[in-house]
Amino acid sequence: MLTLSIVNAISDAIKSRRLLPGSKLNERELAQLFGVSRTIVRQALSHLAQDELVSIAPKRAATVAQPSFDDAYNLYQTLLIIDCGVVDHLIEHITPAQLDILEAHTRREEATFQQGRHEESDELGREYHRLLIGFLNNEALSQIHAKLERKATLITSLYKVDFDYCQLRHEHVGLIDALRNKQGDRVKAMLGSHYKLVIRGYRFDVASTPQVDLATALQIGVDA
């Protein structure tokens, strides 16, 4: 449980961009902040390294991972391949109730954006793809997809400059229409365009290694 709490805290800090790629994760400091042994911290960092969120050097110096352009390209190519495989199944098996779920989700995504809650709208956009995967009720696939999404979050925190969110949300609506009309090729073409648009919102000139206060980034000692 102690290991998991550290894993979750660091993962959340990365996802929320409080811990940026390249940030140092000192074992001794983390142990003091969480009030645990360095062994527990080491186990947590090892777990994060398995998810490719953390890099551990031979002397066990740990940092938040710094993915490259090739990492980003390969990641989104993998996500596209998964999504296209999911589409092959959903074209034949998606139900009216599931289509209604997707439509309600896109309305929430648009409403939160119009209300200026852009971070929440962005998260709903990511959730859209998790819903598609979830319709297959394949836990193994969902876990693989979740791991890839965590890496995508890291890449976004490093490289994101600007996205055409309006077009992304529009494509989510269009995907529903294509699924409803069993237009598999159209869905796959839209997904390919979708991920290309995301990558165009990245700038691949890596910034210098950030200096962060771990207690602040991990929100330790911060009043709820």
**Percent of the chain's residues with pLDDT above 70:** 90
Q: Evaluate whether 10 touches 48 at the Cβ level (below 8 Å).
A: yes
CA 13, 15, 21, 26 dihedral sign is: positive
Q: Is 15 helix (H, G, I), strand (E, B) or coil?
A: helix
Query: Within the chain, which residues score under 70 in pLDDT?
Result: 60, 161-167, 204-210, 221-224
Look at residue 208 in the predicted model and tell me its pLDDT.
58
Look at residue 188 in the predicted model and tell me its pLDDT.
92
The predicted-structure confidence for 37-82, as pLDDT tens digits, reads as follows 999 999 999 999 988 889 998 776 899 988 888 888 899 999 999 9
Distance CA 64, CA 56 (A): 9
Look at residue 176 in the predicted model and tell me its pLDDT.
94
Q: Which two tokens stand for residue 72?
A: 């980003």
pTM: 0.74
